[in-house]
Amino acid sequence: MTDEEIIPGRRSFPVGTLILSAVALLGLGVMIYRYINGLGAITNLSDGRAWGLWISLDLYCGVALAAGGFTLAGAVYIFGQEKYHPVVRSAILTAFLGYTMVILALLVDLGQPWYIWHAIIYWNPHSPLFEVAMCVITYTVVLALEFSSVVFERLNWRVPMRTIRAIQIPLVITGIVLSTLHQSSLGSMLLMMPETLDPLYYTPVLPLMFLASAIAVGPAMVIFESTISSRAFGHKLGVDILGGLGRLIPYILGIYLVLKLGDLLVAGELSLIFADNSIAILWWLEVIGGGVLPIIFLSQASVRQSKTKLFLCSLLVAGGLVLNRFTVSWLALGGRAGYTYSPHWMEIAVTAGLVAWAVIWVILANRLLPMHHHEVMEEKELGQPKQLVSADTPVYEQ
């Protein structure tokens, strides 16, 4: 065999994987440094600005961007939309990793994280923060159980796989209820800040707005994730699946925009959107870029038939949600007079590290687990070797 024949077969360590690993290890190192030297050693937070990058991006954005888990699980297992079955496992995995990263980020952000278990023992049912804590903890457990069937399938552990499938519907219903509660309760937390949050964003219907925007971004994130994974791992995915998800988004975004504008009209505060300040500009950017434009584009059949255009629209929807969450939890949230805040580089390193770890686990899952396959089994065949069908094969094809 000649050198020319040998060289193409050689495999080198991918540059992307190398960068991901470096970022992940840097983030892990900074987290260890934080626990040794305390919170003040790696952040620019203060008594006047207690919320920063970790709360805005890791918590408020992270929880909402993981909404594809409960929306897709509900569509497939509750409403019988088997068309979307090929992408439901990826959505659940992303949601599980998203919530895991949220928990890890909170453990870094808390001044005394070793007391996190107090929320489980010492209940304060009157606090929205208690509801968020309990829902995030229990929903993460639910997501782990939902995704465990993929692991059991890979290991061919039939008894635990049957057990999870037997309780799958109750798990999905529990996940939907928990997600509905904590997606809205993140908005409820801001209701405790009437003197701090800018009047343009402060409203009693914030919990409802948070829930509507999270439901809207769920299908968008599934489009985003599925497009990237199909290109990265070579999985075939029909445009009809992504187009069907894109068809739902304009209706949900429309409800969200009606709530947003209707609230200002009812309160007689519509003039706030024409104020000459940065908060009003951010409001317009969110409404037009993350709301109006996706509604217009995704209402066109030609857009829904193009994977590239669907992907770009999903970026608009996700970008609008991220802008909204950053605004209400940071930019429009005033601090005490004399206190300013900009993220320390170590805060950025922790966030980047957590994202890198999540991407690494996604890569490993797609390479080691049957992420884009599902079983076709009749009850009478459960004792026989399983038959796997690829994601681009109809669910009930014999």
Q: Which residues are within 8 A (CB) of 223 and not within 5 positions of it... i.e. 6 or more apart? A: 242, 245, 246, 310, 311, 313, 314
> 317-320 — which CB contacts under 8 Å span 24+ positions?
317/216, 317/217, 317/220, 317/249, 317/253, 317/290, 318/65, 318/217, 318/220, 318/221, 318/224, 319/289, 319/290, 320/286, 320/287, 320/289, 320/290, 320/291, 320/294
pLDDT value at position 129? Answer: 83
Enter the CATH code of domain 46-390: 1.20.1630.10
pLDDT value at position 2? Answer: 46
Which residue stretches of the chain have pLDDT < 50? 1-10, 375-398
pLDDT value at position 391? Answer: 43
Strand locations in 152-310, DSSP E? none
Q: Which residues are within 8 A (CB) of 331 and not within 5 positions of it... i.e. 6 or more apart? A: 278, 279, 282
pLDDT value at position 337? Answer: 64
pLDDT value at position 270? Answer: 93
pLDDT value at position 12? Answer: 53
- Coil, strand, or helix at residue 331? helix
Domain residue limits, the chain = 46-390
pLDDT value at position 70? Answer: 87
